Amino acid sequence: MAATALFFFAALTIRQDSTNVRAGCEPDQAVVTSLPAGTPVEMRFRLADGSDCIKVAATVDGKPVQGYVPASALNGLDQFEHERSASPSVDPMRGLMPAVARSRKTAALTGDPALDKGAQLLALNQPAQALELLEPAAHRYKNNPSVLLLAGLAAYRADQLGMALDYWKQSLDLAPNNDLARMYERAKREAGSDQGGPRLYGMHVGVRYEGEALPADAAREVLATLDQEYTRISSELGCSSSERVMAVVQSRDNYLKSTGAAEWSGGEYDGRIHIVWTDGKQPGPQTRRALAHEMVHACLAEIPSSGPYWPAWFQEGLAQKLSGDTLSPAARDRLRRLALAHQIPTLENLRQDWSRLSVDNARLAYDIALAALDSLYENYSAYGIRNILNNPSALDQITSDLDKKLGL
C-alpha cells in the first residue's frame, strides 16, 4: 500500500508563565488550568468571529486538558500558519478527481455496460445507485484497481465507510496511488471518530448523527431543516436527484479529527454534508445558515460545470448568499480599500480549494466571494442564475467583468 505523506507544522508553545486556559473565550469564563511558558500545545480550532480565540490541547501532570487562549498567548503561530498554508490541501477529494477520471476511462474500456453505467451514475452524484452496479463489478474485476477505486468512492459517498475502506485498500495494494492513499487515511480517521450514531431519513436528506452530541429532537429538527432547504435551493438553482443527500452531524472535535478541515471551518461537502454541532437542544440561527450553506454545495454537485468543480469563489459566494449572509458596511469598505491598493486577489485566483487558508485570508476570500455574487445578481438578474448554471461557459465569460466591477 502507498505511504501517505505527513506534514509537520511549527510547534506552538505558551508565551508567558501562568497563562490561563479557560472554558470559553470570554475573560470571565472559568479557568481550566494555568500553563507555564514554553508548554507545547496543539491547536484544535481558531474562531473566525473576530475574537481570535483559539482552542488548544495540552498535557498537564500526565493528563490531557483542553481550553481556550487568545492568539497572543502563543509562540510560533505565524510560522504555523505560514507552513500550513504552504502545505498540500486537506481536501483529498479534489486531488482524487484526476484518478477518478482515469478510472472511468478504464471502466469504459472493459466494454462492460453495467460498469460503464455505474461510473456514469457516480458522475451524476447518484452514489447509491452507482454502488448497486459497482459492487458486483468489483467482484468481477477484483484485480482492477480502477474499478475498486470507483466502487470505494460510490460506497464512501453513500456513507458506507467500511465498504469504502475495504475497496480502497484492495485498490492501493494493487496499484499505489498517493491521492487515493490520502482519501483512504481520511476515511479511516472518520471511521475512527464515528460514534456509531443513529440515522434519520427524510424526503430528500438522510442524517447520521452523534447521539451524545446531538439530542434526538434536535436531530429531527436538523433533518426537517435540511429537507426544507433542499426544496428551496433546488427550486432556485434547478438541481434534482433521485437519491437522498447524506449529512453527518458531529461535535467540533470529532468533525476536525475526521475531516482534517481548517479550524475555522464549521462544515464542508465532500459528496456528503458534514456539519459541526455547537448548539444545545435545538439548532440556532448560525447552524441553520450552515445547513443551508452546505446544501448549496450539495445542489451544485448535481449540476455539471465546465470542469470537475464549480469555481470555489462561485460556490462559496452562492452558498453565503442563499443562506442569508450579508456583507457588513465595514467589510465592503475593507474590500474597496484593498482593491485600490492592489492587495486583493482576482476571482480567477480564487477558483481553487481554500482549505489551507489562514483565518484572516479565509475571511477575506469569503467576503470577496459574497461581494462577487451580490454583483452577479445585481448586474445579471435579467440573465438569471439558472441560465448561468445551465451554461457554465457563461460564468467564465462574466468572471473578468465581475472583477472589473469589484475593482479587483
Task: Give residue limits of the domains in the chain.
Answer: 12-86, 92-193, 199-300, 312-406
Q: Are 91 and 355 in contact (CB under 8 A)?
A: yes
| Ranges 227-231, 250-254, 375-379: which has the least confidence | 250-254
- Mean pLDDT for the chain? 84
The DSSP bridge pattern shows strands 53-60 and 12-14 to be unpaired
Higher-confidence residue of 323 and 53: namely 323
Reported confidence tier of residue 175, pLDDT bands at 50, 70, 90:
very high
pLDDT at 2: 28
pLDDT at 1: 31
Nearest to 258 by CA among 324, 210, 315: 210
Residues 190-210 pLDDT 10s: 887 665 678 999 999 999 988
Residue with cell 484497481: 145
Q: Does CATH number 3.30.1330.40 belong to domain 92-193?
A: no
Q: Report which residue type is found at 134.
A: L
CATH fold, domain 199-300, is Zincin-like (3.30.2010)
Residue with cell 501517505: 4
Sign for the pseudo-dihedral over CA of 75, 76, 81, 87:
negative
Reported confidence tier of residue 211, pLDDT bands at 50, 70, 90:
confident
Q: Report the predicted TM-score, pTM, of the whole model to 2 decimal places.
A: 0.74
Show the cell assigned to 79: 510560522
Q: Give me the percent of the chain exceeding a pLDDT of 70.
A: 88
Residues 363-392 pLDDT 10s: 889 999 999 999 999 999 878 899 999 988
Q: List the end-to-end C-alpha distance of the chain, in Å, as a whole number.
A: 46
Reported confidence tier of residue 5, pLDDT bands at 50, 70, 90:
very low
Does position 85 have pLDDT exceeding 60, yes or no? no
| Stretch (H or E) spanning 379 | helix 359-379
CATH fold, domain 12-86, is SH3 type barrels. (2.30.30)
Higher-confidence residue of 243 and 83: namely 243
Residue with cell 474562531: 47
Q: Are 188 and 157 in contact (CB under 8 A)?
A: no
* DSSP per-residue letters across 304-346: --SSSS--HHHHHHHHHHHTT----HHHHHHHHHHHHTT-S--
Contacts of 9 (CB under 8 A, 6+ apart): 80, 83, 84, 87
Angle ∠(84,86,88) on CA atoms, nearest 5:
85
